[in-house]
Structure 1
């Protein structure tokens, strides 16, 4: 019986050691590879200065082209759009900018129906996992998850849970990734091509009384002397935006509304996202209407 218990303990010890080693190896590879996500892009930009930083959802990620801005004005910009990002995610990204010593003249925040949401983007979740133990900002951001403690403290658990996004395949891909990565070359921009409309798309009929993360962002920006500029990216004209946008403008004074700025449907990937041609048109519009005035 004693021998049996000893063998069990040895097996458990070896299993734990294996998990610890795997966790260390995955973390080392994923946090040191060329950037393939926006959190790593911020980390890689530590100490740099940008004229403009754009934060928001995929309606930033797919709609703002930094290379056009630099070509036209000579000014640098960084696209930190993350799919499905909400105000909570935007606040965290801005906090990471400051913590990573990334300087910028203006932070452009894309605002829309996301104002109604307090939950966070699952896309930011898996991007944050490799940094969970070494970055208190990301650790605090993920505290809403029911298994937050396990993700942070149990070896390799985070990589097992998010295996589809940061598992073995992603780790080997990170090893093979050349520097600079495609994401680094485009300063964070990820363009969509063609058109694939959704079956149905509507704006919310109501708006939240407030969003505490938007309020926290304003306070954080004031403390750290960040210049925030709010804007709304275009929707197809078939999307009825007038009612919701009029309500949103009351919540966010000074919001620059471009929700109906592009009339041609051919410039859209779907009802709420521009394709590559539309992104170029919209970036030029921002240049002439907003950026060159700063």
Structure 2
């Protein structure tokens, strides 16, 4: 029995040490990566200078054509992330400020994402390789229910989110393979192939969202002009009065939900195709940047 206990303890110690070593190796690789996605592109960067930074979910990523801003002489990057919530957008902006980015304007897609204060596991997991390296990221995750496991258990986060930051992603990061996420200045165009052209957002309720409030405060403290906008939805959507509720809660958010109409401009009910996005972007530039 004594021998068995000794063997068990030794095995557990060796396993723990292996996890520590693997954690260190994975993290070291990710700390050298800056071309896989928008999070490592920011995290492993020095100060950048932008006229316009775009933040939000896929409804930012697919709706704001950054190259059109650039054609107008506005240095722009679209940091919208498909699936992302305001949890991730606010953290990304914190990291930009921490890295001394000079940002004149932030365009923030602020509509459906106001209805929750949750993180998106798929997007937020991309921050986790840096959780021990960054107090900002650590603090941002500190109220999450699984924070103790993510922070204190070696290698846990790489196993829990293997599909996003596991071995496959590690291998591609080590090989410095590029992705499409940084192409077109971060803008991801959608084609004309129709997805779901019906939607129902009747059950959504906008919140006085702490992450939106944090973004507002961060912009104010750093003299960044915040342009918060609601972006278009197709006319087949049920519950479009949600956008009126947003404006009642936050009058400063500009409602552009109806500015592009017609199914020919949509790839799905909640996402403009490239033609619609270009039309929408031109309207935004005219309204906010041609003064």
TM-score normalised to structure 2 length: 0.89
| Corresponding residue to 1:214 among 208, 212, 232 | 212
Aligned position for 1:260: 258
Checking the alignment, whether the CA contact within 8 Å between 1:125 and 1:142 is kept in structure 2 is no
Residues 257-278 of structure 1: CA deviation (Å, up to 9, x unaligned): 2211222312211000112332
- 1:136 — aligned with what? 135
Name the structure 2 match of 1:190. Answer: 188
Measure how far apart 1:220 and its partner are.
2.7
Deviation of 1:17 after TM superposition, in Å, equals 2.1
Q: For 1:81, what is the secondary structure of its paired residue?
A: coil
2:286 is matched with 288
For each residue in 1:154-184, what CA deviation from the matched residue of structure 2 results, as whole angstroms up to 9, or x when unmatched? 11111010011111111112223346x5433
* Structure 1 residue 57, shift from structure 2 partner: 0.9
Q: 1:248 to 1:118 in 2, by over 3 A?
A: same
Contact 2:266/2:276 (<8 A) preserved: yes
SS at match of 1:229: strand
2:201 corresponds to which residue? 203
List per-residue Cα deviations over 1:176-196 (Å, max 9, x = no partner): 3346x5433433222322334
Residue by residue over 1:97-134, the C-alpha shift from the partner in whole angstroms, topping out at 9 and shown as x without a partner, is 21121111011111112222122222332111111111
In structure 2, what is the equivalent of residue 55 of structure 1?
55
User: Residue 175 and residue 209 in structure 1: after superposition, are their counterparts in 2 closer, same or farther (change >3 A)?
Assistant: closer
Pick closer, same or farther for the CA change 1:56–1:276 going to 2, 3 Å. Answer: same
Partner of 1:149: 148
Q: Distance in 2 between matches of 1:105 and 1:61?
A: 19
Residue in 1 that maps onto 2:166: 167
The corresponding residue for 1:279 is 277
Is the 1:63–1:279 Cα contact (8 Å) retained in structure 2?
A: yes
Quick one: structure 1 residues 277 and 36, their matched pair in 2 at CA, closer, same or farther if it must change by over 3 Å? farther
- Distance in structure 2 (CA, Å) of the matches to 1:199 and 1:270: 5
- Tell me the CA shift for residue 9 of structure 1: 3.3
Measure, in 2, the Cα distance between the counterparts of 1:5 and 1:199.
62
How large is the RMSD of aligned CA atoms in angstroms?
Answer: 2.3
Q: CA deviation at 1:288?
A: 2.4
The 10-residue stretch of structure 1 (240-249 or 169-178) with the greater mean CA deviation from structure 2: 240-249
| Structure-1 residue corresponding to 2:126 | 127
Structure 1 Cα separation of the partners of residues 15 and 64 of structure 2? 47
**Counterpart in the other structure of 1:9:** 9
Q: Is 1:243 paired with 2:241?
A: yes
Question: More deviation in 205-214 or 275-284?
Answer: 205-214
Question: By how many angstroms is 1:3 displaced?
Answer: 4.5
Aligned length: 291
Work out the CA distance in 1 between the residues paired with 2:133 and 2:204: 39
> Unpaired runs of 5+ in structure 1?
none
Task: Determine the structure 2 residue equivalent to 1:224.
Answer: 222
How far is the alpha carbon of 1:4 from its aligned partner? 4.1
